[in-house]
Amino acid sequence: MKDTAEAVIIGGGIMGCSILYNMAVRGLTDSVLLERDSLGSGSTGKSQAICRMHYSNPVTARMAWESMKVYRDFEEVVGGPAGYVRTGYLVIAGAEDRAAMEANVAMQVEQGINTSVVTSEDVAEVAPMLDVSDAAGLAYEPESGYADPYSITTTYSTRAREMGCSVLTATAVTGVEVSHGRVVAVRTAGDRIETSMAVVAAGPWSRGLLSGVGVEAPLSTVRHQMIIIRRPQGVLDTHPAFGDLVQEFSSRPDATDITLVGVGEEDADLDTYNQGVDLSMVEDVFAKLERRVPAIAGGFFQGGWSGLFTITPDWHPILDRVEGIDGLYCAVGFSGHGFKLSPMVGAAMAELILEGAARTIDITPLRLSRFAEGDLLSSRYRYNVLA
């Protein structure tokens, strides 16, 4: 292991790897990424990986839009597979969310996003397999879809290594060393890397690393379940991804005849949570899905998994330098919607770290101090997963 580096990144999820890559592209290659397990083994590898632009705030809507373009052209732009599949994405709102949905779409259109409010007749044309008869409002994004978190994460890491960066897996960071208000080193169980810059991108485990240097970030963890349904063969080739505000779940198709359903938000301990699915929930989920996609009746439950959302009080991330500790940065708290943002997170963090401020996108709304200042971002929906 190197014993000095200009920068150390803690965490080899999609965010750590994107930041490493984006710093390398901008010239900083004397850097080391430390991952305690394997790349993508945290929330990233468990993501439903839907890329939708439907947000309540311009900052995240724009980040999603610009990031989707990178995923779409990933081979050309970064140099590896992203597995981007364009399925279209539909927001299905009940009466209580209709006005909010329309306001969101108006804001997104102002940001240049390809989205619109649609009617049930429009849905019958683009997605005749969906039953939206109970919806009071509908919005459709034709360019949205899903991608492959593992491919994206490892592509970022491979390209960064080719440029000279180091990536070490199975190497857990035990602490960041601070002296006289400055980062001086990052410690692992057996080693110490001298550095003046450390980036905490350790997903659910970030809170502990930050509190180790006296920074209390408002992060907590909730468990989200992913249920795999196998569609009856030959009945339905695919369907769009969708966010169902009426029944509070999200869904997208996957490889051959598979539909994924994301559901549930319950407090969870980050090291002992149940990584499987609750069988007691499956019947209810199946009923909800069947109501929305009737042709799925006759399909079957094929298993599933659970992962962690690292949430903040407003369900939006913290992208910032840490006040009071020179050289310490954090990219944390991505809740259930960080996957789609990783290209812009990497670009913005690299600019913040190397140039003093993010210029690709203004990330001031995502500063850490917003919680103390009471200047939280607000979502127009009660269903936080679609923050």
Cα separation of 247 and 326, whole Å?
Answer: 46
**Window 324-343: residues binding ligand FAD (CB under 6 A):** 334, 336-340
Would you say 19 and 345 are in contact if contact means Cβ atoms under 8 Å apart? yes
Q: By CB under 6 A, which span of 5-13, 83-91, 176-184, 285-293 interacts with ligand FAD?
A: 5-13
Write down the least CB distance from residue 206 to ligand FAD, Å.
7
> Under DSSP, is residue 319 helix (H, G, I), strand (E, B) or coil?
strand
Please work out, in degrees rounded to the nearest 5, the angle formed at the alpha carbon of residue 155 by the alpha carbons of 152 and 159. Answer: 145
| Main-chain dihedrals φ then ψ at residue 239, nearest 5 degrees | -160, 160
Work out whether 47 is an interface residue with ligand FAD (CB under 6 A).
yes
Work out whether 33 is an interface residue with ligand FAD (CB under 6 A).
no
- C-alpha distances (whole Å) from 280 to each of 218, 250, 308, 325 are 31, 18, 19, 47
Write down the least CB distance from residue 255 to ligand FAD, Å.
16
Q: By CB under 6 A, which span of 79-87, 189-197, 202-210, 287-295 interacts with ligand FAD?
A: 202-210
Work out whether 284 is an interface residue with ligand FAD (CB under 6 A).
no
Residue among 35 and 373 whose Cβ is closer to ligand FAD: 35
Identify the H or E element spanning 281.
helix 279-292
**Window 50-109: residues binding ligand FAD (CB under 6 A):** 50
Q: By CB under 6 A, which span of 89-97, 278-286, 305-313, 371-379 interacts with ligand FAD?
A: 305-313
Cα separation of 7 and 246, whole Å?
Answer: 46
Number of residues that bind ligand FAD (CB under 6 A): 40
Write down the least CB distance from residue 275 to ligand FAD, Å.
10
Cα separation of 52 and 61, whole Å?
Answer: 9
Using CB under 6 A, which of 7, 9, 23, 34 touches ligand FAD? 34
- C-alpha distances (whole Å) from 340 to each of 5, 9, 106, 273 are 29, 20, 21, 24
Would you say 210 and 216 are in contact if contact means Cβ atoms under 8 Å apart? yes
The three-state (H, E, C) secondary structure of 31-46, written as one string: EEEECCCCCCCCHHHH
What are 179's two structure tokens?
A: 């002296």
Q: By CB under 6 A, which span of 39-47, 107-115, 280-288, 319-327 interacts with ligand FAD?
A: 39-47
Residue among 37 and 110 whose Cβ is closer to ligand FAD: 37
Work out whether 127 is an interface residue with ligand FAD (CB under 6 A).
no
Write down the least CB distance from residue 42 to ligand FAD, Å.
2
Q: By CB under 6 A, which span of 30-38, 124-132, 134-142, 372-380 interacts with ligand FAD?
A: 30-38
- C-alpha distances (whole Å) from 38 to each of 1, 35, 75, 193 are 17, 6, 23, 20
Binding mask 208-237 for ligand FAD (x = CB under 6 A): -x--------------x-x-----------
Cα separation of 211 and 220, whole Å?
Answer: 13
Q: By CB under 6 A, which span of 8-16, 122-130, 271-279, 350-358 interacts with ligand FAD?
A: 8-16
Write down the least CB distance from residue 46 to ligand FAD, Å.
4
Residue 303 forms beta bridges with which residues? 228
Q: Which residues bind ligand FAD (CB under 6 A)?
A: 10-16, 34-37, 41-44, 46-50, 172-173, 201-205, 209, 224, 226, 262, 307-309, 334, 336-340
